Chains A and B, each alone.
Chain A
Amino acid sequence: MFWDQQLECIEPERLREVQLQRLKEVVKRVYEKVPFYRKKFDEAGIKPEDIRSLEDIKHLPFTSKTDMREAYPFGLFAVPLSEIVEIHTSSGTTGKPVVAGYTVKDIALWAEVMARCLVMVGATKDDIVQIAYGYGMFTGGLGFHYGAQKIGATVVPASAGNTKRQIELMKDFGTTFLACTPSYALYLTEYAKEEMGIDLSTLKLRIGSFGAEMWTEEMRKEIERRMGIKAYNVYGLTEIIGPGVAHECPAQQGLHVWEDHFYPEIIDPETGEPLPEGQEGELVLTSLTREGMPMIRFRTRDITTLHREKCACGRTLAKIERIKGRSDDMIKVRGVMIFPYQIEQAILEVQGVEPHYQIILTRPHYLDEVEVQVEMSKEIFSDDVKTIETLRKRLEKKIEQTVGVRVKVTLVEPKSIPRSEGKAKRIIDKRNLK
């Protein structure tokens, strides 16, 4: 189903015309209205008139999360504060939050792109949409809220938390569409079963839209099985608009980017150079139509691949693959990009428990070697050496299959991998790359 079929199936040529026109306008607007951008463009020696084709976008400087923090709170707004009708923030792990400001038109745009997402996966005005993303400064709750109201569905603004009530609402109201994080979706099924004796797959649920964190195909299958629904991936970020930048279609093979509003590029995270279509790299987004806070070439740090071949669903708009990792965490081993997250998933699949692990990179003979140390735990311990050795080999094989690089797995004693506050230090790079 389509919210705006003409647009979602637009001729690629026509789309490029629209994008170029909008790019020229937004570049001119931010150059005139936002001192931050004017300074950056001047430093890079580029004027709005220099943008003559879509390819020229590569001459524009990137905008980073650090830039946004420095502009805190309202330094990136392109309209007077009186025109801003809503503010959201996204909390970082360090320092000041990122602030996003929306005009009336921006909120309408948000509702429009979210409406496209919801209708694409089959939602209609007859659906009862339970939104279990947080409402408040986080964009998840309200983004879905605006979209679901736009299509005329019945919105249940449950917000995050209070699991027992979530399940009661689902049951009593006959919720058909659920929006939350994928890990919370799994938790809901467990809680319902163990604490309330309810099998969520027997309720009226039929569609789920999950995002705001990385997840895998295995998790999708598990959620679909336990809830008896179709589960879809949603992508978005506060800097650009919130949820609704991209969403999976019924083909479940990548997320369509609403690129008439959000222009996607894939770059090499190390050099910043644009990569050819089909190559994996960092996603960079430019919001072409935002009024309150347009973003020029925002570095999302998310690693994915962009595809432009026509989709089975009929849409012509580009698709990104599910987010594979963060470029901050990326390591290059023998020329292959790998992410701690992939290794964690592989270990999790083999041993079924959250692993404590560390990746150690060395280069003993001009060739990178990867050692993955995994802590022994009572869940996987066997008092038999052979059994443990088999487990170790299975871990090596699974990790190699997942990341495409041969690794050595070493099992180490519990608590032998250092825990630092907050994020564990996952990678020890001992290669001398000088």
Chain B
Amino acid sequence: MYKVEIISIFVENKPGKLEKITKLLAEAYINILGFSITDARDFGIIKFLVDKPKEAYELFKKNGFVVALNPALGIEMKDKPGGLYEVVKFISSKGINIENALVYVAESREKAYFIFEVENFEESLEKLKDNGFELLKLV
């Protein structure tokens, strides 16, 4: 299945928060593949793409965080000018709304992926696959 999973964590905007979260992941030997931070006034949501999403989810829950695990899609971006534009244009041509996004550069450094959440995962996946774009498979 062409599916990746994204961890979302609620955090107050306080110094040392990101440090505490990343330390938890490091100590559990969970590798961060990509992340994004969205800020409101007093709080934010940190999103992670990790190599062991289920473990990371349980880890945060156990440590008292409010956390969600959501399915997301990943599409390969060509390493050339306009690579991201091509991908975004393709997604919107299918009438799909990008809710949140982050970028994942594969370990080999040869490939980069545009990772994004959508409202209806299954439906969006149907619309996107077999269209000449490579979808990422991590789960």
Partners in one complex: yes
User: Residues on A close to B: CB < 8 A?
Assistant: 376-378, 381-385, 388-389, 392, 410-416
Kindly report which residue of chain A lies nearest to residue B68, judged by CB atoms.
A383
Cβ B40 vs Cβ A383 within 8 A:
no
Interface residues of B in 106-125 (CB under 8 A from A): 117
Kindly report which residue of chain A lies nearest to residue B37, judged by CB atoms.
A385
Residue in B8, B10, B12, B117 whose Cβ sees the most chain A Cβ within 10 Å: B10
The residue from B44, B65, B67, B68 contacting A385, defined by CB atoms under 8 A apart: B44
Cβ A411 vs Cβ B43 within 8 A:
yes
Cβ B10 vs Cβ A376 within 8 A:
yes
B70: which A residues are within 8 A, CB to CB? 383
Cβ A383 vs Cβ B8 within 8 A:
yes
What are the interface flags for B58-100 relative to A under an 8 Å C-beta threshold, 1 for contact and 0 otherwise?
Answer: 0000001111101000000000000000000000000000011
Q: How far is the CA of A413 from the CA of B42 in the complex (A)?
A: 11
Kindly report which residue of chain B lies nearest to residue A408, judged by CB atoms.
B42
Cβ A383 vs Cβ B12 within 8 A:
no
Q: A385-B39, A388-B40 are in contact. Are A413 and B10 (CB under 8 A)?
A: yes
Cβ B12 vs Cβ A413 within 8 A:
yes
A411: which B residues are within 8 A, CB to CB? 10, 12, 42-43
Cβ A415 vs Cβ B100 within 8 A:
no
- Which 6 pairs, one residue from A and one from B, show the smallest C-beta to C-beta distance? A383-B8, A385-B38, A381-B66, A376-B66, A383-B68, A376-B10
Cβ A384 vs Cβ B99 within 8 A:
yes
Q: A384-B99, A385-B45, A388-B40 are in contact. Are A414 and B68 (CB under 8 A)?
A: no
Cβ A383 vs Cβ B100 within 8 A:
yes
Q: Is the interface of A mostly helix, strand, loop or mixed?
A: loop
26 contacts between A and B (CB under 8 A): A376-B10, A376-B66, A377-B66, A378-B66, A381-B10, A381-B66, A381-B67, A381-B68, A383-B6, A383-B68, A383-B100, A384-B100, A385-B38, A388-B40, A389-B40, A392-B40, A410-B42, A411-B10, A411-B12, A411-B43, A412-B43, A413-B10, A413-B11, A413-B12, A415-B64, A416-B12
Cβ A413 vs Cβ B40 within 8 A:
no
Distance of B16 from chain A, by nearest CB (Å):
13
Q: How far is the CA of A261 from the CA of B47 in the complex (A)?
A: 65
A389: which B residues are within 8 A, CB to CB? 40-41
Distance of A378 from chain B, by nearest CB (Å):
6
A416: which B residues are within 8 A, CB to CB? 12
Q: How far is the CA of A162 from the CA of B68 in the complex (A)?
A: 38
B8: which A residues are within 8 A, CB to CB? 383
Q: How far is the CA of A377 from the CA of B66 in the complex (A)?
A: 6
Kindly report which residue of chain B lies nearest to residue A380, judged by CB atoms.
B66
Cβ B39 vs Cβ A413 within 8 A:
no
Q: A383-B8, A385-B38, A389-B40 are in contact. Are A414 and B100 (CB under 8 A)?
A: no
Q: How far is the CA of A116 from the CA of B111 in the complex (A)?
A: 82
Cβ B65 vs Cβ A412 within 8 A:
no
Q: How far is the CA of A416 from the CA of B11 in the complex (A)?
A: 11
Cβ B65 vs Cβ A383 within 8 A:
no
Distance of B95 from chain A, by nearest CB (Å):
20
A388: which B residues are within 8 A, CB to CB? 10, 40, 43, 45
Distance of A355 from chain B, by nearest CB (Å):
14
Other CB < 8 Å A-B pairs besides A376-B10, A385-B45, 7 of them? A383-B47, A384-B100, A388-B40, A388-B45, A389-B41, A411-B43, A413-B65
